[in-house]
Amino acid sequence: MNDARKLRWMVLPIALASLLGGQTAVADVVTDWNVTAADITVAAGLGPPPANRTLAMVQTAVYEAVNAITKRYPADRVTPNAAPDASVAAAVAAANRAMLSRLVPSQQAAIDKAYASALAAIADGSVKTAGIAVGEQAAAAVLAWRADDNAATPERYRPATTAGAYVPTMIPAVPHWPQRKPWVMASCDQFRPGPPPALTSEIWVRDYNEIKAVGAKNSTTRTQAQTDIARFWETTAPTIYYPVVRSVTNAPGREVTQNARLIAVTAQAIDDAMIVVFDAKYYYNFWRPVTAIRNGDIDGNDATERDAGWLPFIDTPMHPEYPCAHCIVSGAVGGVLVAEIGTGPTPTLSTTSP
């Protein structure tokens, strides 16, 4: 509920890190295709949960294709056959094309254009052909591995109501997401947080009144900086988080398999974070600020005054309030990057918002 505080904590690590780095960035075929894949996925109009699932599958296939050629890391679930001289660039292009074609077919023209451009830059021959084969094998293997991840499970959301009473008819976002098979977690509820603040607690009063004042559509207390921060972090689309990851992958001295692995691990962490957050959201089914503030007279707390016409500054997403998806996804990305960077120099971390 305390959105202003959450936003400060999400922005702070990036702001601090930006003071520490400063070397020239160096991109590679993996990071270039990550930009393309994220843009194509967002252009398809997918919401954040399915968009991040798509990127997790794409980046996993890319890593498996690259690692099959370079053999830098031990093979895991996917073991494509690869000649050591197969083209990594062709493998990355083929893995991206195969995955994106299956997962976002509405963007086939853009996918084919990017693929043709990538292949045109690679000399024809057996090395190129072998690379394409590896990429396609990796994509097929990942698609088979994740075929039963339950993303296509029919939703069975049951609106809370009493017989004969009207309730809004739009089904909320991905109520079936808690049924998905995680990448790394043992179960969707492995990291389920504790419950939201009790409606009789001091924390509830503090958060209620802060959001009521600062988060109102026509707030007179919200500063311009708070407004800009809220707008910046409004979305959890892949195009927000992957530039931060590429701030690390583009650092000098890194190698293509390292980068493929880091992006894949981050993508899986984001997707698992989405699973755990929607598990908790639908488990607790906690009301949104617009509902709470318009019903402040029924929460049993005299310190929360009702505002019958209150509206939020940013339109309310169609899913329960608690816990904060932005915070959990940002924490997952941050945890992976901290593990990757370790005690080494921290590069400048940056991203842009649509």
CATH, residue 94: 1.10.606.20
Residue type, 260: A
pLDDT above 90 as % of the chain: 82
User: Does 158 map to a domain?
Assistant: no
Mean pLDDT of 177-195: 97
Residue 349 belongs to a domain? no
| Domain-embedded: residue 200 | yes
Does residue 7 carry a pLDDT above 60?
A: no
Domain that holds residue 248: 3-152+172-341
Band of pLDDT at residue 27, cut at 50, 70 and 90: low
329-334: long-range contacts at Cβ-Cβ below 8 A with a sequence spacing of 24 or more? 329/52, 329/236, 329/241, 329/270, 329/273, 329/274, 329/277, 330/10, 330/241, 331/273, 332/266, 332/269, 332/270, 332/272, 332/273, 333/241, 333/244, 333/245, 333/266, 333/269, 333/270, 334/13
Q: Which residue has the tokens 């398809």?
A: 44
Stretch (H or E) spanning 203: helix 202-214
pLDDT tens per residue, range 201-247: 999 999 999 999 999 999 999 999 999 999 998 887 888 999 999 99
Model confidence at 76, pLDDT cuts 50, 70, 90, reads confident
Q: Please say if the pLDDT value at position 14 is more than 70.
A: no
31 vs 37: CA distance, rounded Å = 10
| pTM recorded for the entire structure | 0.90
Q: What is the mean pLDDT of the chain?
A: 91
Note the pLDDT of residue 32.
96
Residue 348 belongs to a domain: no
350: in domain: no
In a domain, 68, yes or no: yes
Domain annotation covers residue 183: yes
CA-wise closest residue to 320 among 299, 290, 295, 298: 290
User: 304-318 pLDDT, tens per residue?
Assistant: 999 999 999 999 999
**For residue 20, is pLDDT > 50?**
no
Q: Is 83 part of a structural domain of the chain?
A: yes
Total domain count, the chain: 1
